[in-house]
Structure formats: structure tokens, C-alpha cells
Amino acid sequence: MRWPDRLAAVSGALLLLAVLVPMGLMLWSLLAQGSGVLSVDFLLEDPSQAGRAGGIAALLISTGWILAVCLLVAVPLGLGCALYLSEQVPAGTRRAQWLGGVLDMLAAVPSIVYGLFGYQFFAISLGLGFSILSGGLALALMVLPLMIRSAEQALRAVPFSYRQAGEALSISRWGWVKRILIPQAAPGIAVGIILSIGRALAETAVLLFTAGYVLRRPDSVMDSGRALSVHIYDLAMNVPGGMPRAAATGLVLVAILVILNLLVRRWLRPAQGVLY
Amino acid sequence: MMPPSLELQGVCVHYGNQAAIEQASLTVGGGELMALVGPSGCGKSSLLGSINRMTDSIPGCRVSGRVLLGSEVVSARHDSATLRRQIGMVFQQPNPFPLSIIDNLRFPLSEHGVPRRERDGRAEQALRAVGLWEEVKGRLHQSALGLSAGQQQRLCIARALVLQPRVLLLDEPCSALDPVSSKVVEELIVSLKGRYTLLMVTHNLAQARRIADSVTVCWMQEGCGCVVESNGCRQVFEHPSHPITAAYCAGEAG
């Protein structure tokens, strides 16, 4: 091997290590601190003594509800916007660039800003208070740009030849969208949904302001509820002796995200079948 | 019933300020096959697309001139759905929908309001017309994308025929296929003569000579496509009236 190639290979390996080692350390530290607490009971019991004892069942429930509200709003709305963009705004036009730019900018807005807005708009102005509904809606706003952009990409990637065939046969727009466009783009849309779930699950700042941090199991979407990420923050920062349970909760959250990522990989596999 | 003739009178296609083809006129006799030949970029496909108004969905594209189906002027009609039921189209790349074989035919039928109980019968009829029925009758519910390229192209022709058009536009239907499949599709096209009026773009002069009743030669002149000659097949190949045609058909130009 010539020396520039060797240098590139060695520095590449070193960079890989530089990425893997901190990740390994992080997981190891979570395991070291949290594994003592982690058990099936930890998942099934409600927390007590501000989280110092008990498990995270109530938080899993709150997190699930918040996520459900978020997706119920973000998925249909995001898909609708993506359909509008892919069907009505031709790629490369000034309008497409402008709208895409706005969406990318919104996606880059710090989540704390969405939290402030969600608090001001959903909790105060609409009178929803600190509630799962406020939190889910604010999260939906936050993930919408990501959702729209990834669905739009998936829809635009559907081969032009199908569209041509549909036009030559005078297939209605609705028939085209329902039978060809959405089924073909479904894997890409699923990826967008799962990435959005990942972002929503990892989010803390937005929820502190909107869903609140009540530890009880919620009775309805109008109750305040604490998400897993908020729980980790609270245990680590505000509760003396909360660290082991914060770490264990972190492990659960990481496990959920890893499982979701594996699902993404499954869906990302190219579609079967021969294409000419 | 004899299919109607297809006549183009002074058709021009513009993309923005750029003319793709100017003042194109030709007549395909009812039930005849006309080959549209000429070098790449001389506006053949644009001309074909202007007939069933595929050009409508291209931003900035304007079409003028008249298209007649029999004695009816169809270019003035607002409703492109009826027009495209009468004028089917087949493309260069086989493009069956990513659905099952049978659904490729049921889908357009349901879109055009054909009652459910009639759909499978008409689908079978169309598959028989393209000689695909015996090959696929055991796997109608498998994906159309699993067929060979030649079978896919015949399925696309069946999909166009299932709406019972009178005219078929074919945009280089054989050029993406291997020689064996190409021959099968060519024979199929010949078998459609008489029942449909056919206008086929091709780069294959030997094919045009073999199967066409008439030939139209397009050419680039002053940066824009135009029709230089449109006549019977033998006339064009043996007694061309235009020097460009003579050179092109002799393989000296194009």
C-alpha cells in the first residue's frame, strides 16, 4: 500500500475509535449506574418518593399518550403538506426552493423555542394548561418540518414513468395518489414517521413547558404528564440520590430508540421486484 | 367497425420560447400503421405527446394546430379523459404499475367507471389480444414487475387496449427490448393493424420499412423540428421526394 493510502486508512480507523469510545463510555456509565435498579418491576411500578423509589410505569404511559397526540396530528398534517408539495409544486421551481427553505429553517429552530411557543399558544392562549394535549401538540409542531420533508422526498422519488402511465390512461388524481403514489412512497414515509418518533421521544425542553412534570398516571389528555426524558432531567438535576434511576430510565429510552432504529433499517431496504 | 383516421393539421409545439416542432401535418389512414422517423431531438415525441395532450402537464408547453379523429376536431376538446380513452399510448420503457398483473388492467377500468363484473372479462380479452394470456393466466395476482421486459411491454399495450381506444400512439415501443422480445412486440403491433389506427415513433428504419403502411420523416431545420415528407412506405423508401429523406433512408444522414 502506498503511504497516502496507509495514512488515510489509519486516520480513518482512529476517527472511528474517537466516535465509538465516547459512545461506549456513555453506555457503560449508564449501565454501571442504572443496571442495579433495572428489572421488570422497574417497568411495571409507578414511581414513589419523587422518583427515588419505584419504577417508571406512569412515565411510560404519559410518554405513550404524548407521542400518540403528537403523531395523530403530525402524520396526517405532514402527509397532506408533503402531498401538496410533491403534486402541486414542481421540483426546482422558485416556489419549491422557497417552501423547502422555510421548512428546513423551521426544522433547525431550537426545540426550546417550540417549547416557549407551545406554552404561550397551547397552554395559555388556548387554555389547555400543562397537559398531555399541550405537550403533544407542541411536539407535533416541532417534528412537522422533518415529517413533511422526508415524506416529500419519498413521494418525489416515485418513478416518473408511473405518473406518465397514469396520465396517458387518464387516471384520476385521487386514484393515482391512493393506488400508486402513497403505496410506492410508503417505506420512505414510514422512515419519516419513525425519525419523528425518535426526535419526539428524545425531546425534553418542549415538554417541560407544555406537558409539565406531574408524576401521576394521567387520566385524560387534559392531565399533566411527565415524559421519560423529562423524568431523567428531573431525577438527575433536582432529586438527591436520583442518579441510579435516571440512568436506568436512560437505558430504557435508549433501548426504545435502538429498536426504532432497527425498524428504520428494515424499512429502508430497497423494495423487492425487478424494475425496468 | 373500421377505426377512424388520425389527421394533424399544422401542429406546433413550443416549450417556452423554444419551438420543438413547427407546422407538422400528416394523415394516418383508419386502421393503418404510420411510422414517424427522424434523428433524435427533431420533435417526434413532442408531436406524439401533443396528440393525446400529454403536453398539457408540461409547464410552459404550448400546442397549436388541429388534431382530427375521423371528421371530429379533438384538439379543441377540453376533456382530456375522453380523448385519452380514444387514444391510447405506449412508451419506450415498459412502465407497468407496481401492482399485480390483473390489477394493472382492473385499475384503469375502475377509474373509467367500468362495472366490477365486466372488468375481469375485459382484462382477459386485452391479455389475449397481446398474446400474454396463456403466459400469465396462472399468475395473474403476482407483481407485474416480475415479468420479463418484453412481457411488461405487452402488458402495457394490453393496458392501453383495455380501455378500447380507436388509436394507439407508440413511442419507440421496441427500442428498450432485446431482439427476441422486440420481434414479438413488433408482430403484435402488426396484428393490431386494421382494428386500431397506429402511429409509431421509431429509430429503426428497417422496422419502419417492414411493418409501416406509411412513413413520416421529421428533421431539424433552423433549430426546430419539422415534417419534411409524409407518404406511403414504398414511396418514401424507393422514390423519396425530398433530398433529406433520400439521404436519411439511404443511411447517409441522421
Express each pLDDT in A219-229 by its tens digit: 888 988 899 99
Q: Which residues pair with B87 in a beta bridge?
A: B167
Q: Which residues of A fall within a CB distance of 8 Å from B152?
A: 276
Lowest mean pLDDT across A107-111, A151-155, A156-160, A257-261 = A257-261
Q: Does residue A105 have a pLDDT over 90?
A: yes
d(CA A196, CA A199): 5
- Residue B145: which of A90, A171, A273 has the nearest Cβ? A273
Express each pLDDT in A66-87 by its tens digit: 999 999 999 999 999 999 999 9
Mean of pLDDT values over A193-208:
89
d(CA B241, CA A252): 83
Is residue A227 within 8 A of residue A200, CB to CB? The reply is: no
Q: Which residues of B fall within a CB distance of 8 Å from A92?
A: none
Q: Does residue A275 have a pLDDT over 60?
A: no
Q: Do B52 and A171 touch (CB under 8 A)?
A: no
d(CA B250, CA B218): 15
- Could you give the 3-state DSSP secondary structure of residue B159? helix
| B84 touching A (Cβ < 8 Å) | yes
Q: Does residue B211 have a pLDDT over 60?
A: yes
Q: Does residue B186 have a pLDDT over 50?
A: yes
Q: What is the ipTM of this complex?
A: 0.90
Give residue A274's pLDDT.
34
Is residue A214 within 8 A of residue A223, CB to CB? The reply is: yes
Tell me the pLDDT of chain B averaged across its residues.
Answer: 92
Q: Does residue A22 have a pLDDT over 90?
A: yes
Could you tell me which residues of chain A have a Cβ less than 8 Å from any Cβ in chain B? 90, 159, 161-162, 164-172, 175, 179-180, 183-184, 271, 273-276
Give residue A268's pLDDT.
61
Give residue A83's pLDDT.
95
**C-alpha angle with apex B81: B76 to B85, nearest 5 degrees?**
105
Q: Do A165 and B95 touch (CB under 8 A)?
A: yes
d(CA A144, CA A142): 6
| B163 touching A (Cβ < 8 Å) | yes
Closest CA relative to residue B6, chosen from B68, B82, B73, B74: B68
| B152 touching A (Cβ < 8 Å) | yes
| B195 touching A (Cβ < 8 Å) | no
d(CA A155, CA A178): 12
Q: Chain A: residue nearest B85 by CA? A: A169
Mean of pLDDT values over A211-238:
90
Q: Do B145 and A275 touch (CB under 8 A)?
A: yes
Express each pLDDT in A180-200 by its tens digit: 999 999 888 888 888 899 899
| B111 touching A (Cβ < 8 Å) | yes
- Residue B85: which of A170, A183, A184 has the nearest Cβ? A170
- Residue B107: which of A167, A179, A275 has the nearest Cβ? A179
Express each pLDDT in A129-149 by its tens digit: 999 999 999 999 999 999 999
Q: What percent of chain A has pLDDT over 90?
A: 64
Provide the pLDDT confidence category of residue B254 given band limits of 50, 70 and 90. Answer: low
Is residue B189 within 8 A of residue B31, CB to CB? The reply is: no
Provide the pLDDT confidence category of residue A258 given band limits of 50, 70 and 90. Answer: confident
From the CA of A175, how many Å to the nearest CA of chain B? 7
Provide the pLDDT confidence category of residue B52 given band limits of 50, 70 and 90. Answer: very high
| B47 touching A (Cβ < 8 Å) | no
Closest CA relative to residue A148, chosen from A103, A114, A194: A103
| B98 touching A (Cβ < 8 Å) | yes
Express each pLDDT in B128-169 by its tens digit: 999 999 999 999 999 999 999 999 999 999 999 999 999 999
Provide the pLDDT confidence category of residue A102 given band limits of 50, 70 and 90. Answer: very high
E-strand ranges in B16-96 read 18-28, 33-37, 61-69, 72-73, 87-90
From the CA of A171, how many Å to the nearest CA of chain B? 6
Could you count the other beta carbons within 10 Å of the beta carbon of residue B115?
Answer: 8
Q: Does residue B203 have a pLDDT over 80?
A: yes
Using the structure block, give the residue that is written with the C-alpha cell 393506488.
A179
Q: Does residue B248 have a pLDDT over 50?
A: yes
Express each pLDDT in A143-176 by its tens digit: 999 999 999 999 999 999 999 999 999 999 999 9
DSSP codes of every residue in chain A: --HHHHHHHHHHHHHHHHHHHHHHHHHHHHHHHHTTT-SHHHHHSPEEGGGTEE-SHHHHHHHHHHHHHHHHHHHHHHHHHHHHHHHHS-TTSHHHHHHHHHHHHHHHS-HHHHHHHHIIIIIIIS---SSHHHHHHHHHHHHHHHHHHHHHHHHHTS-HHHHHHHHHTT--HHHIIIIIIHHHHHHHHHHHHHHHHHHHHH--HHHHHHT----SPPSSTTS----HHHHHHHHHHHSTT-HHHHHHHHHHHHHHHHHHHHHHHHHHSPPSS---
d(CA B242, CA A143): 65
Q: Does residue B2 have a pLDDT over 80?
A: yes
- Residue B108: which of A169, A183, A274 has the nearest Cβ? A169
Lowest mean pLDDT across A44-53, A260-269, B220-229 = A260-269
From the CA of B130, how many Å to the nearest CA of chain A? 18
| B23 touching A (Cβ < 8 Å) | no
- Residue B159: which of A169, A275, A276 has the nearest Cβ? A169
Q: Does residue B69 have a pLDDT over 80?
A: yes
Using the structure block, give the residue that is written with the C-alpha cell 433520400.
B246
Residues 118-147 of B with CB under 8 A from A: 143, 145-146
Give residue A272's pLDDT.
43
From the CA of B208, how many Å to the nearest CA of chain A? 24
Q: Which residues of B fall within a CB distance of 8 Å from A167?
A: 54, 57, 84
d(CA A98, CA A82): 14
